[in-house]
Structure 1
Amino acid sequence: MAKVAINLSTGSIQQEEVIVGIDLGTTNSLVAYIHPEDKKPIAINDQGRGTIVPSVVHFTQQGETIVGNEAKEYLTTDPANTIYSVKRLLGKSYQDLGEHRDYFGYKIIDDNTEGLVKIRVGDRFYSPIELSAEILKELRERAEHSLKTPVNRAVITVPAYFNDSQRQATRDAGKLAGLEVLRIINEPTAASLAYGIGISPEEEKTIAVYDLGGGTFDISILSIHQGIFEVLATNGDTYLGGDDLDREIINYWIKENELVADTINQDKHLSQELRLKAEEAKKALSSAAEYTSDIDGKIRCHITRDKFEELIQPIVARTIRSCEQALSDAKLTPEQIDAVIMVGGSTRVPLVYNAVSEFFGKPANNSLNPDEVVALGAAIQADILAGNRKDILLLDVTPLTLGIETMGGLMDSIIPRNSKIPTKAGRQYTTSVDGQVNMKISVYQGERDLVKENRKLAEFDLKGIPAMPAGFPKVDVNFILNADGILKVEAIELRSGVRQEVEVKPQYGLTDAQVEQMLMDSITHAREDVAARMVIEARTTGEQMVYQVEQFLKKNGQHLTEDEVSLTQTNVQNLKNVLTSGDKDTILKAVDTLEEQTSPFAERVMQISIKQAMAGKKIE
């Protein structure tokens, strides 16, 4: 007898399993699914709290984690323990952040390496993957509560410009949240699916997707041909968004109230109060002619729509210049664009909508909720992957992740599971030891973080790397997977041109049941796998820090006082002592202590070196 699942709260027949679509956003996130009766995508509104979940994570003094609407309230009262805009940090190193480091109200750790950033909250250290997983977990729980059914699989969207490491970080966050991520798709692709563009295989169109979110702006030009979406060009600014429109209002109010900007920046509570009022004003001015409020009866917050439009005109003009550049890169004119789609809450601002429609010479599509459109499209993609849309061709995909072994026995994914084939992907690596002339490339297949839990496919040595200091050689490792499932792995040292390659058949010898078991194991062990990975990464960071500081003392000890040398040696010893502890927070705390203590020396020695170099210079 066949079993039929009934949703007890609605009485409707349930699908055996719901696959959700998730828009993991910089400012806000949401989750959507296909309604089983009318087959339309719908954003989940759990317990009437709204469809939008602010991408904010707060850690309480008691060690609890609060995500979303409730966490947002702590932005003003406890900014150091409240994390926002974590998507900006995904797959990024501290050096990648550049001059934007001061944007964040919480502490980001600089460990003097190109390793991925860490966020310090009290005595705990979090990676952006863990923090993103907290947001995804909240979305998953809301979906399960609303749909009264387990949610284990999802399609997650990312910006079109996300690189491999940012996409992999998003997958890892999903895995840590207990989700099997069936596909990572581009946000503009999802938005066009939501508008029904690209669903029919016969359709051929060129479209523009203008996405002005809370913290980021991007414009993507897509070509849709036989159900395949190709990104022709993308442009934008990862530090331009609705927040910048708010900031114009804040600066206007600071001037009107004759406040001191530096004082505002130092008073985190007041700066967040102003930020929230400005956001309120921006939303109100989409329909009202003016906005009036105040903070504590002392700071008057008044602005007209005309003044607001005058203030934001240069920002809107910047986005239009990005549109011009994207069209130029795609070698197209505005007339050749068949449709323009608006994404992101900030596109509700009338000036933005009018400027975009005028530039492209046609009214932009904004009939769907711009906050929800990406999640709705992700739900449609999930429905396609579930096989519920028989009219849509699903291209072959690779069933298991392919990657290589890196330091500490970790698996570095290069082609994620469910990637469409044929496909090609690669990463760049370097040496870890001075004078290293060979590099072992070990190829693995599987979903676990440690290679010992995965299946080894091949191994070869890249020989003849010129002897250079650690970190200098640049080795590109490329995976090329053809339509028959044959994998070619090539390694090339870019400075010398030395290359080596091997061919393997990844699926050979694995039954469907074995593949399924490997997937189940990866979900079951996700938390412990990630914990093990993080300890190994923390230990590697600590070892690099010890090496760097000891080398620094050898070369520059004469510029330091005895007390400074003594304290540095004590902190180095403390770090060495905890390297084997198996506690990532203890290790990273020791790294942070050593880094904070030694960074002023490095600056001082740099100044001395510059002075000596200048003194020795002869002017001809």
Structure 2
Amino acid sequence: MAKILGIDLGTSISKMASILQGEPKCLESREGQVLIPSIVALAKNGERLVGDLAKRQAVTNPKNTIFAVKRFIGRRFSDPEVQKELKRLPYETRERSDGGVEIKMGDKWYTPIEISSMILQKIKLDAEEKLGEKVTAVVITCPANFDDSQRKATKTAGEIAGFKVLRIINEPTAAALCYGFGKKKPEKVLVYDFGGGTFDVTILDLSPDTVEVKATGGEPHLGGEDFDQRVINFVVEQFKKEQGIDLSKDPLALQRVKEASEKAKIELSSTLETEINLPFISADASGPKHLLYKINRAQLENLVRDLIEKSIKRVEETIKETQLQTGDIGEVVLVGGTTLIPAVREAVKNFFGREPNKTINPEEVVAMGAAIEAEILRAKE
């Protein structure tokens, strides 16, 4: 029987999983990574790169390195939130004749669906190489607040990549399926899903046979990339103040700052202080300029405190909607790379008055849940 996949198609990072020996397991890409950057690029030699290879050359090729397309899939170009996002991008975009977003890569224009299909195609090829057999069917996840247009667009991307898309399911539902896998006792679960581009909160009734969604809330434009942006803004402002040079006007310099800011944010989850060191970041009449700033965990927390508070406010609103109390929630499941940030975990712990569940990997749980759903659907066929 052919293998089927569960795919977490993320704003920043994508993951794939399959059921192996009766257990859900995330698979590594050909580059040996479970976390696959959701990035597509056209290299200077005309070769199309996807994932790690695309990310590695982003600094020297920002105009042809496409990232964060999930924020535009199935959306209108004129949408104020889309416009706000587009202003931050180093690559070129325009409005399509149907009102959607179009992205320039090389001398061609692509839709977010087409870019997403390139990421999914890479995942398909990598999975087939890893599993040693063809993969045709898939369950793909999306944020709980995706509308019909965004879901249809995600499904189309999967079909263009060569998959039979069995279902598009909500990321928190997939996470709950993974958490509940093999459990016998019914309980209420709250999934706090803080990914690269979106924040979702979902309350579910979990039993051995069913997953029932009681309420969902969230922010479609709140994620780890917004945390990165706060660090980027801080670095750019500091450098402008000290050197009188605006790095945001230089796409190559800005891409270097972006990568260093993301790296610093990740490092500050496991260390109290790190540095952003970018030699020869710019130059003026007096010669080359170097950028070196120390940044500590407390500074990062100050930069992003309001974003964390916004997520907790959405949790509060979603619980109120169900007329439940925090004590009625049996388990709090953390999902998404942003939940690895200590201040985020602390905020969730303080709100609920107890530690959230730590038994599952927040970065892999959605893909594994999608694989479980795919297996359930196949069994019904």
Normalising by structure 2, report the TM-score: 0.90
Q: Distance in 2 between matches of 1:44 and 1:73?
A: 21
Q: Distance in 1 between matches of 2:83 and 2:323?
A: 31
1:170: Cα distance to partner? 1.0
Q: Distance in 2 between matches of 1:262 and 1:292?
A: 20
Secondary structure of 1:248's match?
A: helix
Higher RCO, 1 or 2 (CA under 8 Å, sep at least 6)? 2
Secondary structure of 2:187's match?
A: strand
Q: Distance in 2 between matches of 1:250 and 1:108?
A: 22
Identical columns (%): 39
Correspondence for 1:401 = none
Q: Distance in 1 between matches of 2:109 and 2:242?
A: 36
What amino acid does structure 2 have at the position aligned with 1:344? G
Q: Distance in 1 between matches of 2:50 and 2:206?
A: 37
2:334 pairs with 1:342: yes
Q: Distance in 2 between matches of 1:66 and 1:289?
A: 35
Correspondence for 1:591 = none
Secondary structure of 2:271's match?
A: coil
Correspondence for 2:161 = 177
2:112 pairs with 1:124: no
Q: Distance in 2 between matches of 1:289 and 1:211?
A: 25
Correspondence for 1:103 = 88
Q: Distance in 2 between matches of 1:148 and 1:263?
A: 50
1:83: Cα distance to partner? 0.8
Would the aligned equivalents of 2:143 and 2:198 in 1 still touch at CA under 8 Å? Answer: no
2:209 pairs with 1:242: no
The C-alpha deviation readout for 1:81-107, integer Å capped at 9, x for no partner, is: 111011111111112224333132222
Normalising by structure 1, report the TM-score: 0.57
Structure 1 254/59 Cα, relative in aligned 2: closer, same or farther at 3 Å? closer
Aligned with residue 134 of structure 2, among 116, 141, 150: 150
2:69 pairs with 1:86: yes
2:346 pairs with 1:354: yes
Would the aligned equivalents of 2:319 and 2:326 in 1 still touch at CA under 8 Å? Answer: yes
After superposition, where does 1:169-208 map in structure 2 within 5 Å?
169-196=153-180, 203-208=185-190
Would the aligned equivalents of 2:137 and 2:163 in 1 still touch at CA under 8 Å? Answer: yes
Q: What is the alpha-carbon root mean square deviation over aligned residues?
A: 2.2
Which residues of structure 2 form unaligned runs of 5+? Answer: 281-289
1:62: Cα distance to partner? 4.8
Deviates more, 1:250-259 or 1:230-239: 250-259
What amino acid does structure 2 have at the position aligned with 1:35? L
2:365 pairs with 1:377: no
1:350: Cα distance to partner? 0.9
What amino acid does structure 2 have at the position aligned with 1:88? R
1:123: Cα distance to partner? 3.1
Q: Distance in 1 between matches of 2:32 and 2:257?
A: 24
What amino acid does structure 1 have at the position aligned with 2:339? T
Would the aligned equivalents of 2:141 and 2:171 in 1 still touch at CA under 8 Å? Answer: yes
1:139: Cα distance to partner? 0.5
Correspondence for 1:19 = 4
Structure 1 355/178 Cα, relative in aligned 2: closer, same or farther at 3 Å? same
2:252 pairs with 1:269: yes
Correspondence for 1:28 = 13
Which residues of structure 1 form unaligned runs of 5+? Answer: 1-15, 388-393, 398-620
The C-alpha deviation readout for 1:554-588, integer Å capped at 9, x for no partner, is: xxxxxxxxxxxxxxxxxxxxxxxxxxxxxxxxxxx
Structure 1 253/102 Cα, relative in aligned 2: closer, same or farther at 3 Å? closer
Secondary structure of 1:49's match?
A: coil
Q: Distance in 1 between matches of 2:196 and 2:179?
A: 22
Identify the structure with the greater strand proportion.
Answer: 2
What amino acid does structure 2 have at the position aligned with 1:146? K
Would the aligned equivalents of 1:254 and 1:260 in 2 still touch at CA under 8 Å? Answer: no
The C-alpha deviation readout for 1:127-155, integer Å capped at 9, x for no partner, is: 11111110000001110111111111111
Would the aligned equivalents of 1:284 and 1:291 in 2 still touch at CA under 8 Å? Answer: yes
Q: Distance in 2 between matches of 1:247 and 1:55?
A: 17
Would the aligned equivalents of 2:43 and 2:61 in 1 still touch at CA under 8 Å? Answer: no
Structure 1 131/47 Cα, relative in aligned 2: closer, same or farther at 3 Å? closer
Q: Distance in 1 between matches of 2:234 and 2:350?
A: 28
Deviates more, 1:78-87 or 1:220-229: 220-229
Aligned with residue 304 of structure 1, among 296, 314, 330: 296
Would the aligned equivalents of 2:194 and 2:337 in 1 still touch at CA under 8 Å? Answer: yes
Q: Distance in 1 between matches of 2:293 and 2:373?
A: 44
Question: Which of structures 1 and 2 has the bigger CA Rg?
Answer: 1
Correspondence for 2:202 = 220
Aligned length: 369
The C-alpha deviation readout for 1:253-291, integer Å capped at 9, x for no partner, is: 334443579822211111111111111111211121211
Aligned with residue 162 of structure 1, among 142, 146, 152: 146
Structure 1 210/99 Cα, relative in aligned 2: closer, same or farther at 3 Å? same
Would the aligned equivalents of 1:335 and 1:361 in 2 still touch at CA under 8 Å? Answer: no
Q: Distance in 2 between matches of 1:93 and 1:17?
A: 37
Secondary structure of 1:296's match?
A: strand
Q: Distance in 2 between matches of 1:62 and 1:233?
A: 49
2:306 pairs with 1:314: yes
